[in-house]
Amino acid sequence: MDRQKLIRAAAAFEGCDKDNILSVTRHGHGHINDTYLLQLRSGRFNRLILQRINTDIFTDPIGLMDNILKVTEHIRATAIDPLRETLTVIRTRDGRPCYRDEDGSYWRIYLYIENAVCLEKVDNPRDFYESAVSFGHFQRQLSDFPADSLIETIPDFHNTVKRYLDFEKAVSMDIAGRAASAMQEIAFVRNRREMMSRGELLRKNGELPLRVTHNDTKLNNIMMDPETGRGICIIDLDTVMPGLSIYDFGDSIRFGANTADEDEMDLSKVGLDLELYRLYVQGFIKGAEDSLTRAEIDNLSYGAWNMTMECGMRFLTDHLNGDVYFKTARAGHNLCRARNQFKLAMDMEDKRDEMKMIVDDCNNKRGLVCLN
C-alpha cells in the first residue's frame, strides 16, 4: 500500500495530523481487512490500529460501523476498564466513525489494546479454555442488547438452509467442471440436508433465541493478558450481527478442537479432541453465566456439528465454483478443506453421545468448574 495514501487516510482522523504521525506499518495476521499499526509522536494515545475495511466482503461499511458503535458502547457501559475491555472507535475530524478516501476505500481507527497479546493458534489447552470464557462472556454482555437493531453485515452468513441452496446451485451449474470428481462429497452433504436445517428451524420456531453473535470466534480475535492468560477484549467485530449462540460456540470447536489443521490432507489425523471440547464447554458455560437457555445448552453439540458441516459445504461450494471466495494456496485446496471438515463432522457423529454427556456434565457442575 502506498505510504502517502496511508498517511492521508490516517490524517482524516482526530488527533492524527500528518506532522504527528511517526510511522504506519503492516500489523497482525488477519485474513479479511488491511491492518496497520499507527504510531503518533504525541497525544493522549500513541498507538492506534488503522484498518482498511474489506468492502468486497462487507458491502455496507457505514451500517457495519454503526453495528460496532452500538455493540461497543453497550459493552463499555458495564466495563471496569472501558478503554481495554472493548474496541474504541476514533472519529474522523468531522465526527464520522470511518473515512472514505478518493478511491472509495473505507478506513477506520481503533485504540490499540496495550499490554495484550493475540495468539494465532491453540498451543496450550488453557488458552483455548480462556477463549471460551471470553466468548461466553461476550454472550452474557450482549444478552440484554436488542439483536434485531443490528444489520446483517453479511446477509444469511450462517443460514445453513440458504448455504445449502447455494451448494446445490454450484453443483448444477458446475462452472469449473469439477462436480463429477466430487460426487462422494456431494452425496455426503445431500445425505445430511435435513439435519443441517435443524438450527434454522429452531430459530424460526423461537426455540432458540436470536442473539448478538460474533461469528468469527477464533483465538486470534481475542486480546489476552500475557500475565494472567485471561482474555481482555474481543476484537474483529465486523461480523457481529444477529445469530445463534450455538454457532459461535460451534465455530470455535470446529476450528480449535480439531486434532489437525483445517486443511490437513491426511484425514487419519483429523478428529474431535474430546478433552479440548470439554474445556471449551466448561469455559463457554462459565463465561455466559446464566444467560444461556436450556435449549441453547442442549443444542451446543449440534451447533459444533452444524458449523463443521456448513463450513465443509462452503469449501465444497467454492471448489465447485472455481475457488472464488476462500484464498487458496494450491490446486484442490478447497476440496481438501471440505474433506477435512466432513471427516471431523463424521467423527462428531461417532462421538455424539460423549459430546452430549460432556455438555450435561459441565452444565450440572456449573459454578463448580474451576480452572483458574
Is 216 or 248 the residue whose CB approaches ligand GN1 more closely?
A: 216
Q: Does 27 bind Mg ion (CB under 5 A)?
A: no
CB 108, CB 51: distance < 8 Å: yes
Query: Pattern 256-295, binding to ligand GN1, x per CB under 6 A?
Result: ------x---------------------------------
Rounded to a whole number of angstroms, the minimum distance from the CB of residue 28 to Mg ion is 7
Is 199 or 256 the residue whose CB approaches ligand ADP more closely?
A: 256
Q: Does 28 bind ligand ADP (CB under 6 A)?
A: yes
- Interior/surface letters 320-351, b for 16+ CB within 10 angstroms, e for the rest: bbebeeeebeeebbbbbbbbbbbbbbbbbeeb
Half-sphere exposure of 371 (CA within 13 A, CB side): 24
Residue nearest to ligand GN1 (CB): 31
**Partner interacting with residue 198 (select from ligand GN1, Mg ion, ligand ADP, none; CB below 5-8 Å by kind):** none
The string of DSSP codes covering 70-103 is HHHHHHHTT-SSTTTSS--EEPBTTS-SSEE-TT
Residue 245 neighbours by CB under 8 Å, 6+ apart: 139, 208, 209, 211, 213, 288, 292, 296, 303
Amino acid, res. 195: M
Helices (H), 257-299: 274-288, 294-298
**Partner interacting with residue 224 (select from Mg ion, ligand GN1, ligand ADP, none; CB below 5-8 Å by kind):** none
Is 240 or 246 the residue whose CB approaches ligand ADP more closely?
A: 240
Angle 149-155-157 (CA atoms, 0-180°, nearest 5)?
110
Which triple of cell numbers denotes residue 326?
Answer: 476462500
Q: How far apart are the first and last CA of the chain?
A: 44
Q: Does 32 bind ligand GN1 (CB under 6 A)?
A: yes
**Partner interacting with residue 57 (select from Mg ion, ligand ADP, ligand GN1, none; CB below 5-8 Å by kind):** ligand GN1
Segment 79-82 long-range contacts (CB within 8 Å, at least 24 positions apart): none
Between CA 306 and CA 359 the distance in angstroms is 16
Q: Does 216 bind ligand GN1 (CB under 6 A)?
A: yes
Q: Does 86 bind ligand ADP (CB under 6 A)?
A: no
Rounded to a whole number of angstroms, the minimum distance from the CB of residue 262 to ligand GN1 is 6
Closest by alpha carbon to 252, among 118, 127, 132? Answer: 132
What 8-state DSSP symbol labels residue 52? E
Query: Pattern 305-334, binding to ligand ADP, x per CB under 6 A?
Result: ------------------------------
Which triple of cell numbers denotes residue 218?
Answer: 477464533
Total residues binding ligand GN1 (CB under 6 A): 7
**Partner interacting with residue 112 (select from ligand ADP, ligand GN1, Mg ion, none; CB below 5-8 Å by kind):** ligand ADP
Q: Which of 1, 14, 26, 57 binds ligand GN1 (CB under 6 A)?
A: 57
Q: Does 49 bind ligand ADP (CB under 6 A)?
A: yes
100-119 positions binding ligand ADP, by CB under 6 A: 110, 112-113, 118
Q: Does 323 bind ligand GN1 (CB under 6 A)?
A: no
Q: Does 93 bind ligand GN1 (CB under 6 A)?
A: no
Residue nearest to ligand ADP (CB): 30
Q: Which of 85, 130, 185, 236 binds Mg ion (CB under 5 A)?
A: 236
Torsion of CA 33, 37, 41, 46, to 10 degrees: 90
Half-sphere exposure of 11 (CA within 13 A, CB side): 13
220-239 positions binding ligand GN1, by CB under 6 A: 239
Q: Binding residues for ligand GN1, per CB under 6 A?
A: 31-32, 57, 216, 239, 262, 311
Q: Binding residues for ligand ADP, per CB under 6 A?
A: 27-28, 30-33, 35, 49, 87, 110, 112-113, 118, 220-221, 223, 235-236, 238
